[in-house]
Structure 1
Amino acid sequence: MSGIDIGLSTPPNMAEGEGSMSGSGLSAASVDGDRGTLVQSLIEWQRAILESANFSIIATDREGCIVSFNAAAERMLGYAAGEVIGKQTPAIFHDSQEVVARAWQLGEELGEEILPGFEVFVAKARRGIAEELEWSYLRKDGSRISVLLSVTALRNSAGVIQGFLGIAMDISERKRLERTVAEAQARELSQYAQRLRLSDKVFEYSSEAIMVTDAEAKIINVNPAFTWLTGYRADEVIGRTPHILSSGRHDPAFYEDMWRRLMQEGQWTGEIWDRRKDGSIYPKWAVINAVRENGAITHYVALFSDISERKEHEERINYLAHHDHLTGLPNRLMFQERMSHALARAKRTESRLALVFIDLDRFKNINDSLGHHFGDQLLIQTAQRLKSGVRVSDTVARLGGDEFLVIFENAGDQNTCAKQVIHLRKTLEQPYVIDGSVIHAPPSIGVALYPEDGSDVETLMRHADTAMYQVKARGRNGWAFYAPRMNDEVQERIALERDLRLALERGEFLLHYQPQWDLDSDRLIGWEALVRWQHPERGLVAPDRFIPIAEETGLIVPLGDWVLETACAEVRAWERDGLGEHRIAVNLSARQFTQHELGTRVDAILAANHLSAGRLELEITESVLMEDAERTVDILRQLKRRGICIAIDDFGTGYSSLAYLKAFPVDKLKIDRSFVRDIVVDPNDAAIVAAIISMARSMGLATIAEGVESEGQRNFLTAQGCQALQGYLFGRPMSAADARHWMGCRETGTVSC
């Protein structure tokens, strides 16, 4: 405003042109001096107010030319006062589009045309109308802020407008907060609307049945899943109570507890058996919530689903947790439970209980050589035989692997119990037929009795297991009651097994050789290699003590390979040293006989020692041959094609039969020493040996008798036509060095199979 001073030109309480103060008693000159001082003070006071104010204060003349621009305005808009004083507003600070829009709006309000310029801001101020509006200010740096602008007309004492005063407050932060709040409210409203729509969709499409009742438990709504699950349409249940679904399987106390918890806790969760419209009963899992408003229950909402399939799965899982998956027998867990109950009954009734521990002999060998299918079928058939061989009140369980347990309740005295065990043994020792193959897997059985051998599950199991291992140590295929001394024997066996695992790598094994004598030529024809264990503390351990352990643990395979390699190497060394070309007989264990690539392994050993196949004789027991007759024939034929001699060891002690002798491609029968020992004095033994030699001769098989210790035995065997002998009469088993010395003293010859 040209010529306007934002300060007051006159004191606020003195009209313009007043030259005196009546009644003051002051002269004109004195008054004029005092007035000038006052006006100057007021001007300074007003200027201080303008500069210290936190609001932007801009003063203009009547045409909009800026005449004053306070410090707050400088901070708000980024302009220095000198940059804007004398310039026209609103062009500097305002958005032209806002100005145009306000001009049109103001024209509508005032009923006259308002040009889009300075008049837009002062039209109402001219008319004495106070107005405060939101505007945008454009700062010097181009940014935009929101302000609340109030425009006041500055008038002189005559009421004539001298200019205008614009006071603006930055409301950008408030606007931002308002926008944030508005956006949050909008989002909340949107989300609420979405939740409502979603709730409707959930209610309609939920796979769980939903039922809503009023406070009196009258059904007011159900969803489609309810209809699908129960068979009831909405119109058939609305207005009725949930009692329509009752199965009758729950007593009143069940429902009383449900309602009590709903009242106290506001929710009930659990399993309920309900009845469908068609009458079928099914289990469901339900969640019922009480809906409250102002503390009072207004509705109940129940969600439930059919859990028939889950119940079936739970029952299946429970079955699997307590039963062996292969045989269907109770497993270790269920055995523990039944054994505990059986013991409790036995204690209560003061009766005897028998725990029978059963292990199948040679199962691991059958499983490894014939495959897991054969092993599984053998276990299944064993389980079937056991179940059919006991009473309904007895328990048969599979502990794992080839171990089974039988609980005989009310077992009676030892004689009665023994009869039951003998019956089981006879049942299990019968041959098994699996996929057309005949397999023998007789049992080793240990028995512990309550209360004599223990009063708890763990003790009885341990003692039955101890008795079973004693049977195995005595040659398997038998049974025994537990006896306290067995514990010491079992501990001894465990220690022996531990040492056996280290013996091979420590080089504690050695071979002894026993000569075999030909009766026709009366000379040495070969040697049998016999393994010995020279224990560093126990001394020389007999084969019958460690060979069964080696068989059970599988150590017999590396041990047998070592025996075969060492014996072949020694025979070849004797030959190189001019001691003759002799055949070497080596016992082949069941594990070795059925291991994969047996023929290839033997070929490699023979080739490494430059030994012909005819110089090697493999001795195999009858029980090994009969484990799987068909597979045995195949293996024997492979060995025979290589030129290796095959002898049946300990003939007459196993499953002697003309049928299998005729089927197996063997070369020799080795008559067991138990028959040879008394042939001179026992007519029965003499008759058996004579029959074996005669049978072998008729089938074209050679015979050799072992355990020959006297001339009488030699003469009898010679008279019967036995071809070769082995025993103390010709030489005890001896070390390789002693064998060399022995051969050096006798004439040697060469023989082939």
Structure 2
Amino acid sequence: DFYSTICQTLNATNYWSGEVWFHRKNGQEYPTNFTVSAVKNDTGKVSHYVILFSDITRLKEHQDQLERMANYDDLTNLPNRTLLRDRLSQAMVRSHRNAESLAIAFMDLDGFKAVNDTYGHDLGDDLLIKISQRMKAALREGDTLARFGGDEFVAVLLDIKEADDCKPLIERLLQAAASTVDLDGNLMQLSVSIGVTLYPKDGADEDQLVRHADQAMYEAKQAGKNCYKLFDTVLDEEISTRLKTIENVGSALSKQQLELHYQPKVNMHSGEVIGLEALIRWRHPVHGLIPPLEFLPVIEGHKIALEVGRWVINEALSQMSQWGQNEIHIPISVNVSPFQLQQDNFVIQLEELLSEYPEVPRSYLELEILESSALSDISQVTATMNECHDLGVLFALDDFGTGYSSLTYLRRLPAHMIKIDQSFVRDILEDPDDLAIVQGVIGLAKSFKREVIAEGVETIEHGIKLLNSGCVLAQGYGIARPMPASDIPAWINKWKSGDAKTSFRLI
């Protein structure tokens, strides 16, 4: 067939070129670069052929050497990153074809740097060679062990039917790395930390699979080394979702999709509107109005949370300024996250914002902090609160009763207002324990000369029970739901003249 192909090509083109192997006299095969050219006479017929060939053994050896250098590690003779990626791609195709899984194990030797520092790089290289040979021997035929770089290795383990199938192989790798090595009388013993991810359960591409195994390896390091950890795809999805939410909130802030709604706070005895609580909302172009619990906890601890927190305070001050021009003078309270409150420059930034609105009385801004956040670092929080208090800003202790404050803490915190958490207020009509807690908080507030307000007042009956218990300030759906700033003036006018106010003027 080979020679017939040459003849067909010559008849068609009068030329053929290719690689042909011959035998030397000693029987050894050698490659040649072989060309055949047809020579025609005056009548146009082929009179003879000219054949040229040259021995390309050295060229082939050089090509093989270059190919090996491109695909194998010089020190260990293991596949390098390039060949690893090719082997992994082939393994992924095979995995789909056979409906089986494969495991990618990322390995980092524990304590190898100390060997290099103590004994030198030559002995360190010898140690790498020995350990890599042992780890390769621990694997099955068909599996791949590659050197990823330095003291890092990656293994591709085929034919994994279930997650537990790779456990014996991983344990053999751990044992191989931990076995004592004798190098010129120096007994060396290291260990290895291994991270493992399973494909296609982890449906990433080749590069991402290796990165996921690398992430799991760092978990093994943190767990004490000389062990392995499986990559958690669920946790990774949660992290990815969090990062996406953080990015989207940042985009929402820049695109002015965030807005404040305001929930009135009233004196149930006099009917006076004593203030408003600013509550953030995200007006998403696709999902509509998104409540804060769906995105604020996600961004807490991230830089964007500080930007959002600053925006909220600025927006509240701006709104008070606008209302003031229309003779609507009403305090606004804003929620401050623990992360925001504990920033070293919080007071400085607050003063900058206040200075931008000199027409707004500083006492009209109230900062609400969670009781639990106040207890995280009582000394720092108290100092920050005192500095803000010196600026004229007031504080309220939010969700009181959920953080198990001691009386000492309550006495130390310079908060003028205590907010009873709605989880206790909601069931005071049916649950004697919740009623007792609410009455206890009211008593504490009076003892420490603090004002007290109840959240979650949903009905007239809740208001009556609270008034009879000595609490006159309240907010909740029974009074008003949070509403856009544009609705507040009309609501205040309606409250002042309507039946709702009369219904809550109970005593």
Match in the other structure for 1:614: 363
**Equivalent residue in structure 2 for 1:667, among 416, 423, 428:** 416
Once the two structures are TM-superposed, the CA of residue 599 in structure 1 deviates from its matched residue by 2.8
CA distance in 2, matches of 1:720, 1:339: 69
Q: Residues 269-668 of structure 1: matches in 2 within 5 Å? A: 313-314=117-118, 346-347=167-168, 491-579=240-328, 581-609=329-357, 610-668=359-417
Are the structure 2 counterparts of residues 487 and 696 from structure 1 closer, same or farther at C-alpha, using a change threshold of 3 Å?
Answer: same
CA distance in 2, matches of 1:732, 1:335: 61
Once the two structures are TM-superposed, the CA of residue 626 in structure 1 deviates from its matched residue by 2.3
Letter of the structure 2 residue corresponding to residue 691 of structure 1: G
Task: Give 3-state SS (helix, strand or coil) of 1:530's partner.
Answer: strand
CA distance in 2, matches of 1:465, 1:716: 56
**Equivalent residue in structure 2 for 1:685, among 412, 434, 439:** 434
Q: Residues 235-274 of structure 1: matches in 2 within 5 Å? A: none
What do the CA deviations read for 1:40-72 (whole angstroms, capped 9, x no partner)? xxxxxxxxxxxxxxxxxxxxxxxxxxxxxxxxx
Letter of the structure 2 residue corresponding to residue 347 of structure 1: P
Once the two structures are TM-superposed, the CA of residue 340 in structure 1 deviates from its matched residue by 11
Query: Unaligned regions of 5+ residues in structure 2, if any?
Result: 1-113, 125-148, 158-163, 173-190, 204-208, 220-229, 502-507
Query: Unaligned regions of 5+ residues in structure 1, if any?
Result: 1-309, 320-332, 352-394, 398-404, 408-447, 467-480
CA distance in 1, matches of 2:453, 2:388: 20
Match in the other structure for 2:29: none
Task: Give 3-state SS (helix, strand or coil) of 1:650's partner.
Answer: strand
Letter of the structure 1 residue corresponding to residue 333 of structure 2: A
CA distance in 1, matches of 2:310, 2:451: 26
CA distance in 1, matches of 2:470, 2:243: 46
Q: In the comparison of the two structures, how many residue pairs are matched?
A: 321
Task: Give 3-state SS (helix, strand or coil) of 1:533's partner.
Answer: strand
Are the structure 2 counterparts of residues 316 and 652 from structure 1 closer, same or farther at C-alpha, using a change threshold of 3 Å?
Answer: farther
Verify the 8 A CA contact 1:454 1:460 in the aligned structure 2. Answer: no
Are the structure 2 counterparts of residues 698 and 573 from structure 1 closer, same or farther at C-alpha, using a change threshold of 3 Å?
Answer: same
Once the two structures are TM-superposed, the CA of residue 585 in structure 1 deviates from its matched residue by 0.3
What do the CA deviations read for 1:100-136 (whole angstroms, capped 9, x no partner)? xxxxxxxxxxxxxxxxxxxxxxxxxxxxxxxxxxxxx
Letter of the structure 1 residue corresponding to residue 488 of structure 2: A
Are the structure 2 counterparts of residues 346 and 602 from structure 1 closer, same or farther at C-alpha, using a change threshold of 3 Å?
Answer: same
What do the CA deviations read for 1:325-381 (whole angstroms, capped 9, x no partner)? xxxxxxxx999889999x998335999xxxxxxxxxxxxxxxxxxxxxxxxxxxxxx
CA distance in 1, matches of 2:218, 2:473: 44
Indicate the RMSD between aligned Cα atoms, in angstroms: 4.4
What do the CA deviations read for 1:281-309 (whole angstroms, capped 9, x no partner)? xxxxxxxxxxxxxxxxxxxxxxxxxxxxx
Are the structure 2 counterparts of residues 334 and 538 from structure 1 closer, same or farther at C-alpha, using a change threshold of 3 Å?
Answer: farther
Are the structure 2 counterparts of residues 701 and 463 from structure 1 closer, same or farther at C-alpha, using a change threshold of 3 Å?
Answer: farther
CA distance in 2, matches of 1:313, 1:484: 37
Once the two structures are TM-superposed, the CA of residue 515 in structure 1 deviates from its matched residue by 0.2
Letter of the structure 2 residue corresponding to residue 652 of structure 1: G
Match in the other structure for 1:241: none
Once the two structures are TM-superposed, the CA of residue 692 in structure 1 deviates from its matched residue by 1.4
Verify the 8 A CA contact 2:280 2:291 in the aligned structure 1. Answer: no
Once the two structures are TM-superposed, the CA of residue 484 in structure 1 deviates from its matched residue by 7.3
1:747 and 2:496 are equivalent in the alignment: yes
Match in the other structure for 2:449: 700
Letter of the structure 1 residue corresponding to residue 435 of structure 2: A
What do the CA deviations read for 1:713-748 (whole angstroms, capped 9, x no partner)? 111111111231111111111001111221232339
Letter of the structure 1 residue corresponding to residue 413 of structure 2: F
Are the structure 2 counterparts of residues 509 and 679 from structure 1 closer, same or farther at C-alpha, using a change threshold of 3 Å?
Answer: same
Letter of the structure 2 residue corresponding to residue 578 of structure 1: E
Match in the other structure for 1:426: none
Task: Give 3-state SS (helix, strand or coil) of 1:555's partner.
Answer: helix
Once the two structures are TM-superposed, the CA of residue 638 in structure 1 deviates from its matched residue by 1.0
CA distance in 2, matches of 1:396, 1:518: 67
1:722 and 2:471 are equivalent in the alignment: yes
What do the CA deviations read for 1:545-592 (whole angstroms, capped 9, x no partner)? 21123223211112111111111121222222123x211101112232
**Stretch of structure 1 that moved more, 675-684 or 599-608:** 599-608
Match in the other structure for 2:140: none
Are the structure 2 counterparts of residues 638 and 453 from structure 1 closer, same or farther at C-alpha, using a change threshold of 3 Å?
Answer: same
Once the two structures are TM-superposed, the CA of residue 532 in structure 1 deviates from its matched residue by 0.9
Are the structure 2 counterparts of residues 314 and 669 from structure 1 closer, same or farther at C-alpha, using a change threshold of 3 Å?
Answer: same
Once the two structures are TM-superposed, the CA of residue 509 in structure 1 deviates from its matched residue by 0.8
What do the CA deviations read for 1:133-163 (whole angstroms, capped 9, x no partner)? xxxxxxxxxxxxxxxxxxxxxxxxxxxxxxx
Are the structure 2 counterparts of residues 688 and 452 from structure 1 closer, same or farther at C-alpha, using a change threshold of 3 Å?
Answer: farther
What do the CA deviations read for 1:214-257 (whole angstroms, capped 9, x no partner)? xxxxxxxxxxxxxxxxxxxxxxxxxxxxxxxxxxxxxxxxxxxx
CA distance in 1, matches of 2:116, 2:218: 37
Q: Residues 46-195 of structure 1: matches in 2 within 5 Å? A: none
CA distance in 2, matches of 1:647, 1:452: 52
- Structure with more relative contact order (C-alpha pairs < 8 Å, separation 6 or more): 2
Once the two structures are TM-superposed, the CA of residue 529 in structure 1 deviates from its matched residue by 0.7
Once the two structures are TM-superposed, the CA of residue 534 in structure 1 deviates from its matched residue by 1.0
CA distance in 2, matches of 1:713, 1:335: 68
1:733 and 2:482 are equivalent in the alignment: yes
What do the CA deviations read for 1:659-690 (whole angstroms, capped 9, x no partner)? 21122211111111111111111222222212
Verify the 8 A CA contact 1:518 1:725 in the aligned structure 2. Answer: yes
Task: Give 3-state SS (helix, strand or coil) of 1:745's partner.
Answer: helix
Task: Give 3-state SS (helix, strand or coil) of 1:552's partner.
Answer: coil
CA distance in 1, matches of 2:434, 2:465: 12
Larger-gyration structure (1/2): 1
CA distance in 2, matches of 1:634, 1:495: 35
Task: Give 3-state SS (helix, strand or coil) of 2:281's partner.
Answer: strand
Are the structure 2 counterparts of residues 535 and 345 from structure 1 closer, same or farther at C-alpha, using a change threshold of 3 Å?
Answer: closer
Letter of the structure 2 residue corresponding to residue 595 of structure 1: Q
Match in the other structure for 2:186: none
Task: Give 3-state SS (helix, strand or coil) of 1:586's partner.
Answer: strand
Verify the 8 A CA contact 1:556 1:592 in the aligned structure 2. Answer: yes
What do the CA deviations read for 1:571-629 (whole angstroms, capped 9, x no partner)? 222222123x2111011122321223433332333332211221111101123222322
Letter of the structure 2 residue corresponding to residue 585 of structure 1: S
Match in the other structure for 1:112: none
Letter of the structure 1 residue corresponding to residue 117 of structure 2: H
CA distance in 1, matches of 2:120, 2:401: 51
Verify the 8 A CA contact 2:212 2:231 in the aligned structure 1. Answer: no
Letter of the structure 1 residue corresponding to residue 167 of structure 2: A
CA distance in 2, matches of 1:651, 1:452: 48
Match in the other structure for 1:251: none
Task: Give 3-state SS (helix, strand or coil) of 2:380's partner.
Answer: helix
Letter of the structure 2 residue corresponding to residue 583 of structure 1: P
Verify the 8 A CA contact 2:215 2:231 in the aligned structure 1. Answer: no
Task: Give 3-state SS (helix, strand or coil) of 1:560's partner.
Answer: helix
CA distance in 1, matches of 2:116, 2:472: 71
CA distance in 2, matches of 1:512, 1:335: 56
Task: Give 3-state SS (helix, strand or coil) of 2:396's partner.
Answer: strand
Match in the other structure for 1:197: none
